[in-house]
Amino acid sequence: MATREKKRNPVAPFTTSTVQQESSRKLRFSVSALWGWRSGCMKASAGQRGLVGLITYMRTDSTRVSDDALKDVREFIAGDRFGPEYLPPAPNIYKSKKDAQDAHEAIRPTTSRTLRKWWRST
């Protein structure tokens, strides 16, 4: 039996429906449990700075990610954690569905600082 590498493409960013599907499938969360978790992430405490959101707006049908967020996470990958060899030459851009309103961007961490704090704690 021969083995060979298989190329896998990353999945699109979460929308409201895909985050509900994956949280149910992988974590066995009910919809109410997911929305309780979402509320905690949207209003997470940051000590003296008051309330700081850890994720962007949760009710969205868009897979668009802002240019500032892409720049921020590319800097995080290239510099802080992995190195430039892990950075793709261009960011992945995903198409939203035809009927997507696209008023809000995809669900994601608010900043890479959120990722840095989490990564250092693991």
For residues 59 and 17, give the distance between their C-alpha atoms in angstroms, rounded to a whole number.
9
Catalytic residue, from 29, 35, 37, 57: name it: 57
57 as an active site residue: the answer is yes
DSSP 99: T
CA angle, 79 as apex, 71 and 106 as ends, to 5°? 35
Tell me the C-alpha distance between 92 and 10, whole Å: 8
Q: Which residues are catalytic?
A: 57
